[in-house]
Amino acid sequence: MLRDISLNINGKIKTIRVEESKRLLDVLREDFALTGTKEGCAIGECGACTVVINSDAVNSCLVLIGQCEGVEIITIEGLEQNGELHELQKQFMEKGAIQCGFCTPGMVMSAYALVQSNPDTTIEEIKEAIEGNLCRCTGYTQIVDAIAH
Amino acid sequence: MTKEFEHIGKPVVRQDAYEKVTGKAKFGDDYSFPGMLYGVMVRTEASHANIVNIGYADISSDEITICDHNDIQGSKKVGAIKKDQPIFCYDKIRNSSDVVAMLVGEDERKLRKLAGKVKVELEELPVLTDSEKALDKESPLIHPEQESNLIVHYPLRKGNIEKGFKTCDHIIDQRYTTPRVEHAYIEPEVVIALPLEGRKGVKVIGSIQNPYTCRRVVASVLDYPLTKVRIIQAEMGGSFGGKDDTINVLAARAAIAALKCGKPVKIKYSREDSIRESYKRHPYVMNYKVGFNNDGKLVAMKIDITADGGAYASLSPFVTWRTVVQATGPYELENVHTDVRAVYTNNPYTGAFRGFGSPQPIFAQESLMDEIAERVGKTPIEIRRINGFGEGSVTASGQTLGQHDVNLVTVMDEAVKHSCFDAKWQQNRLEKAPDFQIDENAKTNFILEHDNFYPPESMKRKGVGLATSFRGCSLGAEGIDAAAAYMSIQQDGSVYLLSGLAENGQGLRTTFSLIAAEVLGISPEHIHYLEQDTGIVPDSGPTVASRSTLMGGGATKNAAEVLKNRLEEILVSHWNTKGKGEILFAKDEVTWTEDESRKISFNELCNLAYSKGVSLAAIGWYKGPNVDWDEETGQGAAYFTYVYGCQVAEVEVDLSTGEVYVKRVIAVHDPGTVINLLGAQGQVYGGVTQGAGFALWEEVNSYNGKIKEDNYDQYLIPTSKDINNIEAHFVEGKDIYGAWGAKSLGEPTLELTAAAIANAVKNATGIRFFNLPLNLEEILLNRKLKPTDLKRGSTN
Amino acid sequence: MIPRLEIHVPEKMDEVLEILDSSKANCRIIGGGTDIVPGFHIESPRFAGFNKLVDINRIEELHEIRENDENIIIGAGATFSQIISDSIIAHKVPLLQKAAHGIGSKQIRNKATIAGNFVNNAPCADSVPALLVYDASLRIQCADSARVIKLEEFLEGPYETNLQPNEIVTQILIPNNSIGLAGDFYKLGRRRAVAVSRITLGLLYKIADNKFDEIRIASGAVTPIGQRFYEIENFAKGNEVSDELLRTIAIKAGKKVLDLTGLRWSTPHKLPVLQKALYNLLVKNCLK
């Protein structure tokens, strides 16, 4: 069923009319052209679609837009503020934490949720925060390194 | 070397890092076009059948367009070597993922529902899944137009094998197997075909590993000249060799549909589609018989390998050729008798995958080396020192190694040093593991006896193992080996660069930019790497075989040097420097060694060139030296140069459960000159992690030709928690080839890990395992357990 | 593909009950959606045949974790992340905390709810053995009534529970008499993270004078549904804690599981490992 949904995406209130059983992932990519959020598995196993909803890292492939009225969503596109990259983004670049880049947005969002709630993290906490983000290129080493800095 | 490197060998941030870290990088699915339609595949339930009829009566509708083999003007079957893979099946189904038609329309949801309503009338045929039975007379023929199910057979004969076995002190005869493995790039396949206006042809955008191969396939299917097919590579969400044949077939299907409908057509695969239809790493069955003397010296090796090629040949002939060259490992042997065969079955087809026919024999041969060491009372290091290649060694194919540093023992020493291998290995070996395996023949129905229990702390065992390899760089005698790079310097000193080899996520754009920047003495930031487009640079062959840095780097260096020479010539007359001193390009400036006042910024110089009408555009070219191969005897100089590596794995094995945890991997590689240190380290970490997955978990099973492990809940790849620590070290050997001797790294990093882990598990448990992956059941039962049905959630 | 569905997002419990009452089998409750949405994707028959979803995430009382004189009360909609970070759970129901930690990934734990874990009654639901050893009960409501039922009675068979289409699980009740027992939770997966359980074990015990004053053992993923081992518990109670006894307990558990499952494809690995893992868990905790 079509429904009007208002939600806060990257700090701005947006309202759209949309089929309510559409996945949040598809709404972000198709209706808001926020294509930084990726689809890798559609069953919540790979984490490429991770966004932050009300401070928590969440797989946007498992959320239906009809559940999202009034929520606050941050996507990868929301991290750069006034032309300034978030510290995590800078570290990902500098530490070589990026190869093909497909898992990167989801990975950064999981890391973002972690550092927002706990700025002083251990390596074990970092590995746990990204355990649901599969990466096939990097072997995670430089990613963990980037988040630790 | 006359000057220190300015950029080469330093840790450098990737060129595309900003776009990728902000979500702005555009991957295939991030493109959409007005009026775009979608394509959905029609498959059958069969793994092997003759197609009697395809009935569309129940789905005819104005809203959809049906594409099948009747829409093909050109080749109905394609393939890199054998043209055996249909774009749309019309005579036979050879594998469960085969596609008979594609439905095209606006609403993917509707198309998926309709796809189930196409009535494909089939005459089922016996299904062949056992590769070792493929050549039996009674086995069904997968491609009846071919004489047998043999895709290719490579013999290699050196010395006298019979005599070798007669004269040696010991013989070990052993069989090893490795599984079918999925590339598991995180981005599933996407292609979009756009019909161009009028008779201009078609453009295809997508996650395409080898744009030139793709162009050839699409053009042959459409019966178009190559120039009317333009392939644009989107950002690649990983490939590892995996986005070649399958994506080319998808590109052809999309192109057919786009031209038929006159609209852009996108094919976007779900993870399940991707795993079911894409090709895999070849499962190998390997029989190794080796003769050796009391002093540990190898005398003779007889190898018989069968690679399961699945339903289509794909790159099987190239993959297995690398196997035959490298099957004896980096060891000197007088007598070798190798047969490698790839065969057709009804299993998922197999092709290129990072490693390319090497991880399998390395697992076998490195397991074997440790067994030989044990038999003659040597350590793993001693046995490899006795037999390992050095300067001037002769390979199994009769090639003498030279013109580069043969660093096998050097990398091993380095790895041993960083890991304290010897002490740990001896210590673990002394502590005997309790008898932990499950006796399936005991008549207790798996109920334990009181004396089957041991103190929990005694059940966690540490082990350390190593593996070494040599690897031929680039294609070798597999194919024509040359690459191009296009460079155009603008009047303001900024530079366009594009190589005919393609970025697959590995960081090739950055590597080439660094090489160009080094030659021109400018900052890499001034280099703008263009999008991969088959309309610009000459065909440079495929981005495979870890050949990009070597070949594309060579071509880039050549282009930069050509243009640098032109700039120099301008200054020779402008400054009148002829015959005196040297003109230096460094730090965005050009200077003359004879007169400090002679100085010009790089951009001013380019402007000067422009005003003088000097062309600053060039196509650089790098052609590999000749290699040769005798198909009958397997003798010849297979590759023009080689790289060497050694990895040490430290594991902890839980004898109660069969869990193997990788605590540490020390990887030492000689890739020649390192161009980008950050990128090189990333290759090691990623390759080792994939190698660990191959060692411990990853396996795509064929259940009568069908795949159960079709998503990441069933196909397990390593997570951030599965490997504790990886260390990368480089030994930069000298070589006369490539850009400053920069060679290969991507594949060597993966090929050693499983072998090192298997040797570490042996060190921990006292038991040798012969069949990958070393999963829970393999460790405790020496075999795999398979669910009895295909239902999801029935994995317990 | 996600079917076209009506989605209700009520803020009050009464509304939930009303929707359930009026739509019955046409409606499913969605909490975290971590089972139901993948179920849609693979077109699982277990997630078909309804056209309405009622989202319970905004019902505040379903997220509460609190205690009263008799019970620790866990709202059915509490997420696993919430359970992991809750201090009552950490102090008084630590096995549940440990079990929650091993479930899915961070993203999954942020969404998946405790009741969602067991209302589908998948054999590998990790919360089940933990809750079984705590003798958990469930509070279930429908429009006109409420009832309390023991978890093990609620779990009827593989993927089958005693829940009626018009009902909702609202609370998990952990009786106070379970609190203060020492215990541990064990999970075996194929990987270190995001792994479906091959074996889970819950253990609670109290040792006095080196005898088992109390012992409770439950397993998951090895039998068709999560299981308590009462006979073995009764056998062990009052006995001297010895290495010999712990071996006997492990073997008895193996025999019991074999009785329940017969020989299955996974038995040659799982059954011996179950016995060894239980023995290891018992030794680690009980043998000083």
Q: Where are the domains of chain A?
A: 2-78, 87-148
Cβ–Cβ below 8 Å for C254 and B447 = yes
Whether B754 shows a pLDDT value over 50: the answer reads yes
Burial A80-108 (b: 16+ CB within 10 A, else e): beeeebbebbbbbbbbbbbbbbbbbbbbb
Crossing angle for the helix pair A141-148 and A104-117, to the nearest 10 degrees: 30
Q: What is the ipTM of this complex?
A: 0.98
* pLDDT band (50, 70, 90) for residue C210: very high
Whether C122 shows a pLDDT value over 90: the answer reads no
Provide the β-strand partners of residue B600: B590
% of chain B beyond a pLDDT of 70:
98
From its phi and psi, is residue B513 left (phi > 0), alpha (psi between -120 and 50) or beta?
alpha
Instruction: Please tell me the distance from the alpha carbon of residue B5 to that of residue B748, in angstroms, as a whole number.
Output: 25
pLDDT single digits (tens) C139-183: 999 999 999 999 999 999 998 999 999 999 999 999 998 888 999
Instruction: Please tell me the distance from the alpha carbon of residue C117 to that of residue C35, in angstroms, as a whole number.
Output: 9
CB-based contacts of A10, cutoff 8 Å, min separation 6: A73, A74, A75, A77, A78
> What are the backbone dihedrals phi and psi of residue B171, each rounded to the nearest 5 degrees, phi first?
-135, 135
Q: How many domains does chain C have?
A: 3
Specify whether C199 is located in the same domain as C252.
Answer: yes
Q: Is the dihedral of CA C254, C256, C261, C263 positive or negative?
A: positive
Residues of A in contact with B16 (CB under 8 A): 98, 101
Whether B3 shows a pLDDT value over 70: the answer reads no
State mean pLDDT over B530-549: 88
DSSP tag of C4: P
Q: Is the dihedral of CA B105, B108, B113, B118 positive or negative?
A: positive
Residues of B in contact with C1 (CB under 8 A): 108-109, 112
State mean pLDDT over B438-457: 92
Write the burial class of residue C1 (CB in 10 Å: 0-12 exposed, 13-18 middle, 19+ buried): middle
Instruction: Please tell me the distance from the alpha carbon of residue C283 to that of residue B589, in angstroms, as a whole number.
Output: 73
Q: Are B379 and B343 in contact (CB under 8 A)?
A: no
Instruction: Please tell me the distance from the alpha carbon of residue B50 to that of residue B121, in angstroms, as a whole number.
Output: 9
Q: Is residue C129 in a domain? A: yes
Whether C62 shows a pLDDT value over 90: the answer reads yes
Whether B454 shows a pLDDT value over 50: the answer reads yes
The whole-angstrom distance between C250's CA and the closest CA on chain B is: 9
Q: Are B787 and B794 in contact (CB under 8 A)?
A: yes
pLDDT at B794: 42
Residues of A in contact with C194 (CB under 8 A): 45, 131-132
Q: What is the CATH number of domain B284-475+631-781?
A: 3.30.365.10
pLDDT at B310: 98
* pLDDT band (50, 70, 90) for residue B791: low
pLDDT single digits (tens) B501-528: 988 888 899 999 999 999 999 999 999 9
Q: What is the CATH number of domain B17-24+482-623?
A: 3.30.365.10
Write the burial class of residue B134 (CB in 10 Å: 0-12 exposed, 13-18 middle, 19+ buried): buried
Q: Give the helix/strand (H/E) hosting B171.
A: strand B170-178
Whether B796 shows a pLDDT value over 50: the answer reads no
Cβ–Cβ below 8 Å for C107 and A110 = yes
Mean pLDDT in consecutive groups of 10 residues from the start of chain A, 149 residues = 96 97 98 98 98 98 98 98 96 97 98 95 97 98 97
- Test mutation, A59, A102, A138, chain B, max B CBs within 10 A: A102
Closest by Cα among C79, C258, B22, B577 to A93 = B22
Cβ–Cβ below 8 Å for C280 and B792 = no
Provide the β-strand partners of residue C256: none
Q: What is the DSSP string of C5-53?
A: -EEE--SSHHHHHHHHHHHGGGEEEESS-TTHHHHHHTT-GGG-S--EE
pLDDT at B2: 45
| C195 close to B (CB below 8 A) | yes
Instruction: Please tell me the distance from the alpha carbon of residue B377 to that of residue B293, in angstroms, as a whole number.
Output: 12
pTM: 0.97
Q: Is residue C261 in a domain? A: yes
pLDDT at B371: 98
Residue entry with tokens 């395996």: B437
The whole-angstrom distance between A140's CA and the closest CA on chain B is: 6
pLDDT at B789: 66
Return the residue of A nearest to B680 by Cα.
Answer: A96
| A33 close to C (CB below 8 A) | no
Residues of B in contact with A48 (CB under 8 A): 186-187
Domain boundary among C148, C177, C206: C177
Specify whether C65 is located in the same domain as C85.
Answer: yes
Task: Decide which of 3.40.50.300, 3.30.70.980, 1.10.150.120, 3.30.870.10 is the CATH code for A87-148.
Answer: 1.10.150.120
| C25 close to A (CB below 8 A) | no
Tell me the CA distances in angstroms from B351 to B251, B386, B706, one per residue in order. 18, 35, 18
pLDDT single digits (tens) B247-297: 999 999 999 999 999 999 999 999 999 999 999 999 999 999 999 999 999
Average pLDDT of every residue of chain B = 95
Q: What is the CATH number of domain A2-78?
A: 3.10.20.30
The whole-angstrom distance between B653's CA and the closest CA on chain C is: 13
- Test mutation, C30, C53, C81, C105, chain A, max A CBs within 10 A: C105
CB-based contacts of B245, cutoff 8 Å, min separation 6: B79, B80, B85, B279, B312, B314, B315, B349, B351
Q: Is the dihedral of CA B794, B285, B296, B402 positive or negative?
A: negative
Instruction: Please tell me the distance from the alpha carbon of residue A49 to that of residue A46, in angstroms, as a whole number.
Output: 8
Cβ–Cβ below 8 Å for A131 and C193 = yes
* pLDDT band (50, 70, 90) for residue B1: very low
The whole-angstrom distance between B697's CA and the closest CA on chain C is: 8
Q: What is the DSSP string of B756-776?
A: HHHHHHHHHHS----BS---H
The whole-angstrom distance between C100's CA and the closest CA on chain B is: 17
Return the residue of C nearest to B723 by Cα.
Answer: C192
Specify whether C151 is located in the same domain as C205.
Answer: no
pLDDT at B363: 98
Residue span of the structural domain in which C172 resides: 61-177
State mean pLDDT over B146-170: 98
The whole-angstrom distance between A132's CA and the closest CA on chain C is: 5
pLDDT at B792: 52
Residue entry with tokens 């359980």: C197
State mean pLDDT over B105-109: 94
Q: What is the CATH number of domain B31-125+189-268?
A: 3.90.1170.50
Cβ–Cβ below 8 Å for B792 and C44 = yes
Write out the E strands in C193-286.
197-208, 211-220, 227-228
Q: Give the helix/strand (H/E) hosting B255.
A: helix B245-261
- The domains of chain B are located at 17-24+482-623, 31-125+189-268, 284-475+631-781
Residues of A in contact with B511 (CB under 8 A): none
| B794 close to C (CB below 8 A) | no
Domain boundary among C143, C159, C177: C177
Whether B17-24+482-623 shares its CATH topology with B284-475+631-781 is answered yes
H, E, C per residue of chain A: CEEEEEEEECCEEEEEEEECCCEHHHHHHHHCCCCCCCCCCCCCCCCCCEEEECCEEEEHHHCEHHHCCCCEEECHHHCCECCECCHHHHHHHHCCCCCCCCCHHHHHHHHHHHHHHCCCCCHHHHHHHCCCCCCCCCCCHHHHHHHHC
The whole-angstrom distance between A1's CA and the closest CA on chain C is: 6
For residue A43, give the nearest of C7, C41, C193 by CB distance: C41
Specify whether C34 is located in the same domain as C128.
Answer: no
Amino acid letter for position B173 = D
- Test mutation, B453, B660, B784, chain C, max C CBs within 10 A: B453
Average pLDDT of every residue of chain C = 96
